[in-house]
Structure 1
């Protein structure tokens, strides 16, 4: 894939994660894709796995939105920096809703094949997120 195609793919992927649109998931994510999530011993798999990740985030932050702030693009890889914003209005990691808003950065690395995402290593700032909702004291 060309660099321009990869840029368009990552932009469409942001539209997917902000809507959790199942049709976009099927289009953009390979059924063989692996998603490595911090704190999970095994990767999540395929479109359903990514929809589960989004579902987990939306269970605690129903209005969560991701914005793509920076990207570095190569032949079949993209490094992306996101900012996640939302309101803590549901239980998240056992923490009851606080009504607090969050602004959290994430750095993710993607690998593409045949116009689809086949691998992601996600690194959200979970410490910062948990501090913002009062689950962990600020240092």
Structure 2
């Protein structure tokens, strides 16, 4: 049962992000969360985590996740899928292009006492940059 609860917590956190409801998302994230995300160094603390989340929401305001796999083992939940959205504001120094993008993502979240305490997220940066028309 704990594995299903952990999956639910993680999926609810991503759903809050998809809806742009950062305050609801805070209910699922520990104040001392640590993680690493695409285009960023390690993040420490909920404020840094949500600052990154708000930057992503600003750059891809209509963005959202679609997950093909959600796998739980012990205290970890792995999600594999795609992120899609319209590049409507600056992202990683790239001015808005207005282009619709879809790129692969894999996340590993660790859940303790009903909160996400670690988040490790990787997106296919090459795929994203190609769709934005950026040569690497």
Q: TM-score, normalised by structure 1?
A: 0.87
For residues 50-65 of structure 1, what are the structure 2 equivalents within 5 Å?
50-65=49-64
2:36 counterpart residue number: 36
Q: Which residue of 2 aligns with 1:93?
A: 92
What's the counterpart of residue 22 of structure 2?
22
Once the 2 structures are TM-superposed, how far is the Cα of residue 61 of structure 1 from its aligned partner? 1.6
Contact 2:76 / 2:110 at 8 angstroms: preserved in 1? yes
Supply the distance in 1 between the matched residues of 2:19 and 2:50 (Cα, whole angstroms): 10
Task: Measure how far apart 1:28 and its partner are.
Answer: 0.4
1:5 is matched with 5
Unaligned runs of 5+ in 1: none
Q: Give how far 1:39 is off.
A: 4.1
Q: Classify 1:124/1:13 alpha carbon distance in 2 versus 1 (closer, same or farther; 3 Å).
A: same
Tell me which stretches of 4 or more aligned residues in structure 1 moved more than 4 Å: none
How large is the Cα RMSD of the aligned pairs? 1.8
Query: How many residues are matched?
Result: 136
Unaligned runs of 5+ in 2: none
Structure 1 contact 37–122 (Cα < 8 Å) conserved: yes
